Amino acid sequence: MLMKTRFWGIVSFVLSLLFGLAFAQVSRAATGPSNNIGFSVSAQLPSNQLNKDHSFFDLKMTAGQTQTLKTTIYNVTKRDMKIKTGIHTAYTNDNGVIDYVKQAKTFDPSLKYQLGRLTKLTGEKVVTVPAESSKVVEAQVKIPKTDFQGVMLGGWYFEKLDEKVTSEVQDSMNVHSQYSYVIGMKYSFGKAPNPELQLAKVGLGLKNAHQAVLSSLRNVSAVIVPNLNLETTITDKATGKVAKKEKKSNVQLAPNTVYSYPLLVGSSGLKPGDYHLQMTVKNKAHHWKFEKDFTITPAAVKKYKHQSVENSGISPIWLVLWGAIGMLIVVGLVLWFFYFLKRRTHTK
């Protein structure tokens, strides 16, 4: 009976631990960043704001214009707070979303002017906002003398810096929480041009360590092209069979940006050979159709298959089988344990 009591005690402890972890996760979600971020930001909209209902900088600009933009940071906590600021040029990320926060690694050649270079912070990049107070930060805009027509897009980024750790606990795990805001920045010049899209290079590559056919869809016009639906078909030219077909909706293209659209090809990938890509891109106002031939070489297949997470050396089927075997072993041990207890009880 003592062994049986210990067994159920262990089971009770494990279940309590699991439920405790689950409750901790729910509590953490309920008191997330919106409840304890401790600061907020607000743009001071200038007189050349095009739409007063927008909380971001939606500004009418002209060639050679200079202007000072201001944003107020509010600290609602009872201690001083350090805020890191930066101004970035917007681009379309690999998920088909306009990114105002992260700094792009490269820009499309059609981008003539980067908003992040024409708008410079005044003062330090890291500012201290006193407890239960506010601080105004400024940025200086200098527009060159140009005949540019269209839109420049970017974001003013504010990140709360973590406080320094004053002590260490052995075998502990440090958790980094990143709390941030971004204020959009849109500069409009003259008459907006008509949107123009181009399909550039297509080839095999990696997306988050998965094998994919990467299609470079370029917006070479200085306008936002919103709400795009993409339908793509890849055909094996040797057999005429469809090798990959995919639809993607609600893609947003920033001005003068390139969208590296990944079409995941799974663990088996695509065989070396010649392929034909057909892509339809459209929204309510515009429609484009692109076609492009591309070749996948044996060297490319070997390279990206080796670098992908699919190259774990274990087939997914074997993972399922080993998991099932493991479950059977656990169930068998539990049944054996109860059988052993029953025999001991009868023996006594």
- Nearest CA among 190, 261, 260, 251 for reference residue 224: 251
Q: Which of 36-45, 204-213, 261-270, 315-324 has the lowest mean pLDDT?
A: 315-324
Task: Catalogue all structural domains in the chain, each as residue range(s) with its CATH number.
Answer: 37-163+178-189 (2.60.40.10), 197-307 (2.60.40.10)
**Dist. CA 315–CA 266, nearest whole Å:** 13
Q: Which long-range contacts (CB under 8 A, 24 or more apart) does 205-210 make?
A: 205/262, 205/304, 206/304, 206/307, 206/308, 207/94, 207/262, 207/264, 209/307, 209/308, 209/309, 210/262, 210/264, 210/308, 210/309, 210/310
Q: Give the residue, 269 or 345, on which the prediction is more confident.
A: 269
Residue 9, classified by CB atoms within 10 Å of its CB into exposed (0-12), middle (13-18) or buried (19+), is exposed
What is the residue-averaged pLDDT of the chain?
82
pLDDT, mean of residues 309-335: 65
Q: What is the DSSP letter of 130?
A: P
Report the C-alpha gap between 65 and 57 in whole angstroms.
Answer: 16
Q: Can you give the pTM of this predicted structure?
A: 0.74
| pLDDT of amino acid 343 | 65
Alpha-carbon distances of 307 from 57, 150, 204, 312, 314, rounded to whole Å: 43, 41, 12, 10, 15
d(CA 69, CA 86): 13
Q: What's the whole-number mean pLDDT along residues 42-57?
A: 96
% of the chain exceeding 90 in pLDDT? 63
**Class of residue 231 by CB neighbours under 10 A (exposed 0-12, middle 13-18, buried 19+):** middle
Across residues 212-241, what is the average pLDDT?
Answer: 96
| DSSP H helix total and E strand total for the chain | 5, 18
The answer to whether the CB of 254 falls within 8 A of the CB of 153 is yes
pLDDT at 322: 59
Largest alpha-carbon pair distance within the chain?
A: 99
**44 vs 105, which has greater pLDDT?**
44
Q: At residue 70, does pLDDT exceed 80?
A: yes
Task: Provide the token pair at 297.
Answer: 């070489």
- Residue 146 CA: distances (Å) to CA of 179, 182, 187: 38, 28, 14
Answer yes or no: is pLDDT of 19 > 70.
no
pLDDT for the residue numbered 317: 55
* Residue 238: partners with Cβ closer than 8 Å, 6 or more residues away: 273, 274
Q: What is the pLDDT of residue 168?
A: 38
Mapped onto helix, strand or coil, the DSSP state of residue 279 is: strand
Q: What confidence tens digit (pLDDT) does each residue in 156-173 have?
A: 999 999 654 333 333 333
Task: Say which residues have a Cβ less than 8 Å from residue 268's Cβ, sequence separation at least 6.
Answer: none
* Model confidence pLDDT, tens digit, residues 110-122: 999 999 999 999 9
- pLDDT digit string, tens, across residues 170-220: 333 334 456 789 999 999 999 999 999 999 999 998 888 888 999 999 999
